[in-house]
Amino acid sequence: MQPAGSRKIELESLLAGRFDLPLGIREADESERLLVGLPELDGLTGGLERGALTEVFGAASSGRTTFALRALAEATARGEICAWVDTCDNLDPASAAAAGVDLDHLLWVRCGGDAERALASTDLLLQAGGFGMVVLDIAHLDGRAAWRIPLVAWFRLRRVIENTPAILLVLSRTPQARQCASAVLEMRPRGAAWSGGLLRETRLAAASRKPARPAEAFWRAQAIG
Amino acid sequence: MYAAIHAPGHAASLVACAHEFSPLVEETSPDTVVLDAGGLERLIGPPREIAGLIARAVEEAGIRANVAVASNCDAAVCAARGFAGVTVVPLKAEAKILAPLAVSILSPPAELAETLERWGIRTLGEVAALPDLGVAARLGEDGLRLLRLARGENQRPLAPAEAPAVYQESIELEHPLELLEPLLFLLARLTGELCARLTARGLAANELRLRLKLENQAEHAVTIRLPVPMRAPGTFRKLLQLELEGNPPQSPITIVTLAVEPADPRVVQRGLFVPQAPEPEKLELTLARIGAIVGRENVGAPELADTHRAGAFRLRRGLGPGRGAVKPEGARLALRRFRPPLAATVVEDNGRPARVQARGVRGVVLRSAGPWRTAGDWWRDTIWDRDEWDVALKDGALYLVCFDRRAGAWFVEGAYD
């Protein structure tokens, strides 16, 4: 008797191209990806996939926000309208401006620490269409509150974003979207560089957890002077 | 073909009556209006029926008026002023029909009227019989114009006045409305009518003003400013619904009045390769829906405030045209702000933070940079005066902590991430 996993793969290969599998994740080609302009990370991820959910998780100071703002800067520089759904009201507009984000093209939704509001707002934004990137920031959400987000909410977001040119980027402390994310990146801090009594830069590491790749990317973020 | 209506003392009513038949109406004098009746033959019938219908409409408005139809507007005016009831002046018969009318109908200049009086000329027929060259030599340009008017040959374009533009609709209810749903039915009708009126004039609206007169004699007003001119009744209705759901009237409604502020419609030609952007109507609705969830003051485009105070910003409703921000080389370390800042206990060593403890933040400080002293607004209540430190904790996290010199307390302002 064949194991269930191999039978599933066999079945999927038989049905490939004939049906849009309800739980399957479509592979995106080069043109459907947004390069964030950081060669180390673009080399690792191949860019952020459009029409899909990408999750970036990590501890405090691991570079999640820096990465998201850099991606927003790229998107807004292309004239795309983007949104930042801020569950715990953590966005610093000055940091966004310093990262090169065109604030005129950024919609900021402050949810006052309520994850339900953040999910509902994200859903509405994705359904409205026309957004190039929507960032859902639950990185500062209490761990228990984050785990209380039902899986069906992530499925819903994934279904809404499918077949749209939008990118849904989720920032979290631990992986939340599970199988609904088409890519999962883990960020880690690797130390900071100080000189002359000033914080100069931070050294960061990123690893692709989905698709799983053994290699890590090392990158740096300069402190704003 | 032109129709003239003459009734002393009813200028405003005459204009309103004329607008029922044509959008091109000229107020020739306080007691006479002329309308362009071209094309009415196909709708109403021959000129006599057109004149009869206009006369009946004027009569229904309670005005006794003379109505005349002619091939040019001045002949129609003369006939309406000179003949009682309904007159039809056929083409090429203007001079013959106008001939018995007195010269005073044309209101000639006083000097010209005196000259004609001296010459014994009293009717339009007598004026029409004068030789052109002689009139030009003796009476000049005014005389020639009078001659053309008397012969019914004066051709000039109509100078139509703008129709009174009122973009307001009101409904007085027989029974006060208590529920939102029936009110939405009424709003659907009002928005539909107003949008049809805007469409007819090629306009859009940039503001909605809803006034609800309540049973307790109070008034509930709702004003919605639109980011771009729109003409979508469905969007207007939904915006008003979301606003009323968030802020319902406190008493049953007796009168509903909806007004829109007309504006030129937006003309947008987007480039073929320009990225897609949200449709303004859809975006406005989405913002209103999100505003209903998180509060309207919590949605918008961030703007940096013109101050040195850390973390100061404004939220502007709606998005801007784009400023083309400068993208730096490489990544810039971002700060995640804690709002409000976390009250912290900081153990100092030689005046520098050595240990930090706050909600969710705890550890020995491995490295620190600072203090960076900032102060401002000393002339206001919003004065600030503080020392900022960048600190690295043992777990690798980097925080911005500050010592509020006025309060004498430490706070964790945010985390570098």
Do B249 and B184 fall into the same domain? yes
Tally C-beta pairs within 8 A across A and B.
225
> How many Å apart are CA B213 and CA B414, to the nearest integer?
49
- H helices of B69-205, in order, are 73-82, 94-98, 110-118, 124-128, 132-150, 180-200
CATH number of the domain enclosing B223: 3.30.1490.100
Where a domain ends, among B247, B263, B279? B263
For residue B58, what are the CA distances in angstroms to B16, B30, B32, B41, B66?
Answer: 10, 16, 13, 19, 9
> How many Å apart are CA B158 and CA B242, to the nearest integer?
47
Do B143 and B187 fall into the same domain? no
Contacts of B286 in chain A (CB under 8 A): 124-125, 127-128
Domain limits, chain A: 28-220
Do B35 and B96 fall into the same domain? yes
- The answer to the question of residue B278 being in a domain is no
Residues 290 to 319 of B: which have CB under 8 A from any A CB?
Answer: 290, 293-295, 298-304, 311, 313, 315, 319
Contacts of B277 in chain A (CB under 8 A): 79-81, 130
- The answer to the question of residue B186 being in a domain is yes
> How many Å apart are CA B135 and CA B144, to the nearest integer?
6
Q: Are strands A81-86 and A106-110 parallel, antiparallel or unpaired?
A: parallel
Least Cα distance to A86 among A164, A159, A141 occurs for A141
Q: For residue B351, with 0-12 CB atoms within 10 Å meaning exposed, 13-18 middle and 19 or more buried, which class applies? A: exposed
CB A178 within 8 A of CB A172: no
Do B249 and B134 fall into the same domain? no
Q: What is the CA radius of gyration of chain B?
A: 37
Do B132 and B42 fall into the same domain? yes
Main-chain dihedrals φ then ψ at residue A12, nearest 5 degrees = -65, -40
- The answer to the question of residue B195 being in a domain is yes
- The answer to the question of residue B295 being in a domain is no
- The answer to the question of residue B159 being in a domain is no
Q: Tell me the two tokens of residue B110.
A: 């006083």
The boundaries of the domain holding residue B362 are 335-416
**What pLDDT is attached to residue B408?**
94
Residue of B nearest to A75 (CA): B275
Interface touch A130/B322, C-beta < 8 Å: no
Q: How many domains does chain B have?
A: 3
* Residue B161 per-residue DSSP state: B
- The answer to the question of residue B288 being in a domain is no
Interface touch B417/A37, C-beta < 8 Å: no
A83 interface with B at CB cutoff 8 Å: no
Strands ordered across the beta sheet of B168-177: B168-177, B253-263, B204-214, B219-230
- Altogether, the residues listed in chain A come to a count of 225
A83-110: pLDDT as tens digits: 999 999 999 999 999 999 999 999 999 9
- The answer to the question of residue B286 being in a domain is no
Please state which of the four CATH numbers 3.40.190.10, 3.10.110.10, 3.30.2130.10, 3.40.50.300 is assigned to the domain occupying A28-220: 3.40.50.300
Encode chain B (417 residues) as per-residue pLDDT tens digits.
899 999 887 767 788 788 888 888 888 888 899 999 888 888 888 889 999 999 998 888 888 889 999 988 899 999 999 999 999 999 888 889 999 999 888 888 888 889 988 989 889 999 989 898 888 888 888 888 888 888 888 888 888 876 667 889 899 998 999 898 999 999 999 999 899 888 888 899 999 999 999 998 899 999 998 888 998 999 999 999 999 998 899 999 999 999 999 999 887 776 777 777 888 888 989 999 999 999 989 999 999 999 888 889 999 887 877 777 788 888 999 999 999 999 999 999 999 999 999 999 999 999 999 899 999 989 988 899 999 999 999 989 999 999 999 999 999 999 999
> How many Å apart are CA B94 and CA B149, to the nearest integer?
10
Q: What is the CA radius of gyration of chain A?
A: 18
> How many Å apart are CA B365 and CA B350, to the nearest integer?
13
Longest Cα separation, chain A: 68
CATH number of the domain enclosing B142: 3.30.70.270
Where a domain ends, among B239, B263, B287? B263
- The answer to the question of residue B271 being in a domain is no
Q: What is the ipTM of this complex?
A: 0.86
Main-chain dihedrals φ then ψ at residue B364, nearest 5 degrees = -80, 140
Do B138 and B23 fall into the same domain? yes
Q: Are strands A52-58 and A167-172 parallel, antiparallel or unpaired?
A: parallel
Residues 258 to 297 of B: which have CB under 8 A from any A CB?
Answer: 274-279, 282-283, 285-287, 289-290, 293-295
Residue of A nearest to B308 (CA): A94
| Partners of B48 in beta bridges | none
B52-90: pLDDT as tens digits: 999 998 888 888 889 999 988 899 999 999 999 999 999
Tell me: pLDDT of A5 over 80.
no
What residues contact A24, with CB distance under 8 A and at least 6 apart?
A12
Note the pTM of the prediction, 2 decimals: 0.71
Who among B275, B369, B416 is closest to A79 (CB)? B275
B322 interface with A at CB cutoff 8 Å: yes
Interface touch A99/B331, C-beta < 8 Å: yes
> How many Å apart are CA B303 and CA A26, to the nearest integer?
38
